[in-house]
Amino acid sequence: MKVIDGTQLNQKGKPTGLFSKTRGMFQQPSVSRDEQRAQRTIISVFQGTLDNRFILMHDVFLNGPDILLPLILVGPGGVWMIYLSGARGVFRAREETWEQLNESSRKYNIVRPNLITRSVMMARAVQTYLSQNMEDAPEVMPVLFFSNSGVHMEATRPAARIVLADGLERFAASIAQEPSALTQSEVQKVVSTLGGESLAAQQLQISPEIDDAFSLLELPPEESRAPKPLVMMDTSESKIVSKVPLNRKQLVILSLLALVNIAILVALVVYIIMLYS
């Protein structure tokens, strides 16, 4: 799985919280350590479960709706907007209704913020952004993830998929088994659209591999060029030597052996002449 850090894409002066206030839909909470750990946990689990067909983007700022996305997972099975919560307690979700058990009265009461509605609205904001910037935008599915293992949940047809801490690996495995709804080029298009021009500029600085089917930018077509002539090195050898299939060292050794043989032959001839004279 490929991970894209949106903090490298965000422009200066943009909000650094979990998400920004926009048109009264969202409020600006502080990012807790539990939520930061939850993000690292999700990245680690997804990297161990999902293959390179999937791309996980975190902390990506969207211009227009002015929203900072916690986690966006894009893969063949679709697009998931994952909202992180460090809340703890006993909750009940019925469609978009969000309630928490009051420990004193032992009754469920509607509480704020409504994490189900928040997750759904963030997913809708991403859906609208994609629809405005690309054709045939895929559906964005909201996911609400609780990082605290002490959360207990009673859910009846919740508007967002709820994932508890002990169910994260099962959630990742179910995503890996989702039937394909997007081609790899469509996955790349979604990621490029969410990343905007900053992502495109960042990718242009990287030399993508020719066989990398998961790079975010396609390689530009290569210009047809005439083959360059080979440069021949001048070895400074005679034409006769260049025709002999021996290297210089072998030729030197062969020459020395020839000289030794000639010397032995001359000595033998002189010995014979002196013997019979």
Give the model's pLDDT for residue 271: 79
Element (H, E) at 156: strand 152-156
Enumerate the β-bridge partners of residue 74: 55, 79
Segments forming the whole domain that contains residue 254: 239-276
Give pLDDT, residue 198: 53
DSSP state letter for 223: P
179 alpha-carbon distance from chain centroid:
21
Domain boundary among the residues 178, 204, 230 is at: 204
Dihedral pair phi/psi, residue 239, rounded to 5°: -65, -35
**10-38, pLDDT tens digit by residue?**
544 344 333 333 333 443 344 567 777 88
Return the residue matching tokens 């909470």.
Answer: 29
pLDDT digits (tens, 9 = 90+) for 110-137: 999 999 999 999 999 999 999 999 989 9
- pLDDT (0 to 100) of residue 23: 38
Domain assignment present for 218:
no
Within 114-247, where are the H helices?
115-133, 168-176, 184-204, 239-243
Q: CB neighbours of 263 closer than 8 A, spacing ≥ 6?
A: none
Long-range (24+ apart) CB contacts under 8 A made by 115-121 are: 115/83, 115/85, 115/87, 115/144, 116/144, 116/158, 116/159, 116/160, 117/159, 118/26, 118/83, 119/81, 119/83, 119/143, 119/144, 119/159, 119/160, 120/96, 120/159, 120/160, 121/25, 121/26
Q: What average pLDDT does this structure show over 239-264? A: 71
- Same domain? For 256 and 174 the reply is no
Model pTM?
0.65
Closest CA to 56 of 38, 39, 31: 39
160 with 36, same domain: the answer is yes
**pLDDT above 90: residue 138:** yes
7 and 81 share a domain?
Answer: yes
For the chain, how many structural domains are there in total?
Answer: 2
User: Please, what's the largest Cα pairwise distance for the chain?
Assistant: 139
In which element (H, E) is residue 3 found?
Answer: strand 2-5
Q: Mean pLDDT for the chain?
A: 78
For residue 108, give the H/E element and its range. Answer: strand 108-110
Q: Tell me what percent of the residues of the chain surpass a pLDDT of 70.
A: 72
Q: Which whole-number Å values give the CA distances from 167 to 145, 148, 171, 173, in the listed order?
A: 9, 12, 6, 10
The pLDDT assigned to 203 comes to: 52
Decide: helix, strand or coil at residue 162: strand
Claim to verify: residue 127 and residue 251 sit in the same structural domain: no
Q: Residue 221: inside a domain, yes or no? A: no
The model's confidence at residue 199, banded by pLDDT at 50, 70 and 90, is low
The stretch 190-202 carries a mean pLDDT of 73
pLDDT at residue 155, as a whole number = 94
Residue 212 pLDDT exceeds 60 = no
**Partner residues linked to 82 by β-bridges:** 71, 143
pLDDT score at 32: 61
Question: Same domain for 130 and 187?
Answer: yes
In a domain, 111, yes or no: yes
- Same-domain status, 139 and 256: no
Exposed e or buried b for every residue in 237-259, given b needs 16+ CB within 10 A? eeeeeeeeeeeeeeeeeeeeeee
The Cα–Cα gap between 237 and 240 comes to 8
Give pLDDT tens digits for 57-112: 988 888 777 788 889 999 999 999 999 998 899 999 999 999 999 988 999 999 99
